[in-house]
Amino acid sequence: MIKRTLPILCILLGIAIFLYPAVMDRYEIYRQQQMMDQWTEALKRIDQATETAVPKQNTLNPVPVSAVVAPDPAPADSPPQPSNADPDPLEGKPIEGILIIDKIKLKLPIITDATVNNLKLSVASIAGTAKAGAVGNYAIAGHRNFTYGKNFNRLDEVDKGDIIEVDTGKQQYRYQVQEKQYVLPEDVWVLKGNGKDKEITLITCHPMENPTHRLIVKGKLIEKQ
C-alpha cells in the first residue's frame, strides 16, 4: 500500500511546487486589485461622511456649534451597543494613493513604507522621502517580478517625456519623466531632492534575474489637479 501511495504523493507534491509561483502571482494581483477597490470605496465613504456632516446651507448663517460637537456619552448603566462599523477596508495597510503609468498599463496602490512585507503586495513609498506633490523627492520602490506587466516588471520601457501619475484621492499629480539610469545599490543619492523641484523617483532591481544594479526613473511635477 505504501509503495503504491508514495509515487502518487511525490507526483502531487511536484505539481504543487510547479504551480505555486503561478498561484502566488494570481493571489498577489488579486490582493492589489482588492486594495485599489477598497481604497476607492474608502474615499467614497469619506466623501459621503463629509456631505452628511456638513449639509449645504441655504443662508449665510454659520453652522451652530451644537451641530458639530460630539454627542453626549451614553449613560454608565446603559448596555453596550453593537458596532455597525465596517472593519478596516485597507486591512491595516496605509495606502497613499494610486500610481498610474499608462504607457506600460500600470495601475497600483502605493503603500506607505517600503518594507519587505509591503513590497510583496505592491509598490511602496520609501520612508524619509517627500510626499506626492511636495518639494523634494517622492521615492517609490517596487519589485520587478518575472510575470509580465506585474509591479515594475516593465519599468525599463518608460522613457524620457513619458507621464507618471499619482492619484491621492484629493489631488492628481502628473510628473514628466526626465531621465532613466542604472545605478549601484549603494547609490542612495538618487533618493535626495535638489531642494527646489517637486520630483518623483521610481526604483526597482536590474536585471530581473540576479540583479546587480537599480533601475531609476526620475520625473518632475508638471501638473496638479
* Options 10, 143, 206, 213, the catalytic residue: 143
Residue 152 makes CB contacts below 8 A (sequence gap 6+) with 106, 123, 142, 143, 144, 145, 202, 204, 215
| Rounded Cα–Cα distance for residues 166 and 181 (Å) | 21
By CB atoms closer than 10 A (0-12, 13-18, 19+), residue 196 is exposed
Residue by residue, what is the 3-state secondary structure of 154-183?
A: CHHHCCCCCEEEEECCCCEEEEEEEEEEEE
Q: Is 205 a catalytic residue?
A: yes
User: Which active-site residues does the annotation give?
Assistant: 143, 205
